[in-house]
Amino acid sequence: MGQHGAVRRPAAVNYWEGTASSTWQFLVGNLLILTSLAVGVLFLVNPSFLNLSTTDSIGGGITLILASQVLVAVIVLSSVRVVIDGDYIAWQPRLHRRALRKYRWHQIQDVELFHARGYLYGWGLRWMPKIGWGHIIRSGPAIRIIKNNGKSFVITVDDAETAVAVAQKFVDAARPASYNAITN
């Protein structure tokens, strides 16, 4: 993922990299940030704005400016990049240098195709009952990573079917031979 000490692999090794992004989430997030910054600065510069007292105006301005900084998370979570290679499966959101989650293959029990319903669960970084955590960009196919401890993580990406197929090869290769003999 572009980090120091990254191992260069020959092209013959299976590798998958994919992204998913939400343009409307990115645009709405930027609009909300700019609006709250502008109104917050207006409150600080002109305390008599909206006929509020000076302390109310300054308090409102500071609150709006701080809220605009919290809204940066909307921008950061509006896109995701997933990398699957021989060592791990990792994901990182937009504008983030390093992977937020990186699962080594020996930590993963299974990888499966999952149909995310953003309209039901919501968009962004979410916790869903009976499913676990997920980074949902939009409704549709997603990767569901089930760890050995039973917890799972869902990530929506473009071409999730191919990602699951590549990941399944690595999960099967990381399992002990005795496990593969019992399940086959």
> Furthest-apart CA pair in the chain: how many Å?
76
Identify the domain containing residue 32 by its residue range: 23-75
The answer as to whether 8 is a domain residue is no
57 with 89, same domain: the answer is: no
CATH number assigned to the domain comprising residue 169: 2.30.29.30
Q: Which two tokens stand for residue 24?
A: 């409307």
Q: Do 88 and 172 lie in a common domain?
A: yes
pLDDT, tens digit only, all 184 positions of the chain: 445 444 444 444 578 898 888 888 888 888 999 999 999 999 999 888 778 888 888 899 999 999 998 888 778 878 889 999 888 999 888 777 777 788 999 999 999 999 988 766 677 788 888 888 988 888 889 999 999 999 999 999 999 999 999 999 999 888 776 555 555 5
